[in-house]
Amino acid sequence: MSLPQNVTPFRDTRPRLGDGCYIHPSAQVIGDVAVGPNSSLWCHAVARGDVNFIRIGADSNIQDNCTLHVSHRRESDPEGAPLIIGDRVTVGHNVILHGCTVEDECLIGMGSIVMDKAVLETRVLLGAGSLVTEGSRLESGHLYLGRPAKKVRALTEQELAHFAYSAAHYARLAREYAAG
């Protein structure tokens, strides 16, 4: 199977795209990247799995101008820092995710930065412009804001429901774009 021009191998490792995923023509997917079914990478997003791997689950969306990258393996850190994004995750415009783990049904607000080995547990809302420092762990079911990000409060039922809504909305939108 041939890959689109903007989906490129690195060191003999080809990206893997799940059924129904959508990669905008201006996005770049490079190297050891697996994109799950019905997930999408939007305008000018970059997922560069060159020195470690990137995994994006099902029904997740990576919005315009996002940068997804990793840290390499080395003697002092044999695992390095891969990037793992779960299912039904919404990553807002201009976000940087670097070598971290974002579990299922999270929403990462526009312009946020999440650093190496940080973990966002399932159903975390990270407010726009926040910075999650290296090695931090954000507890499930809470809103975090700031630089560095701090726990603000528990999420409401309406906010929790919005995670699935946002993921479904972007999956529908991606199908419309793919259909032309």
CATH number at residue 24: 2.160.10.10
- pLDDT mean values, one per 10 residues, the chain (180 residues): 82 95 97 98 98 98 98 94 98 98 98 98 98 98 98 97 95 93
How many domains, the chain? 1
Number of residues assigned to the chain = 180
Q: Is residue 1 part of a domain?
A: no
Model-wide pTM > 0.75: yes
Please check whether residue 81 lies inside any domain of the structure. Answer: yes
CB 133 within 8 A of CB 147: no
Alpha-carbon distance 101 to 99, whole Å?
7
Show the domain range for 98.
Answer: 7-179
Q: Is 51 domain-assigned? A: yes
What integer pLDDT is reported at residue 180 of this predicted model? Answer: 85
The pLDDT value given to residue 1: 58
Question: At 176, phi and psi to the nearest 5?
Answer: -65, -45
Kind and range of the H or E element at 175? helix 157-179
50-69 pLDDT tens trace: 999 999 999 999 999 999 99
Q: Is residue 2 part of a domain?
A: no
Q: What is the dihedral of CA 176, 113, 7, 80, to 10 degrees?
A: -140
Separation CA 43–CA 35 (nearest Å): 16
What's the rounded Cα separation, in Å, for the pair 65 and 126? Answer: 18
Supply the pLDDT for residue 5: 86
Give the amino acid at 136: S
Examine residue 116 and state whether it is found in any structural domain, yes or no.
yes
Structural domain contains residue 118: yes
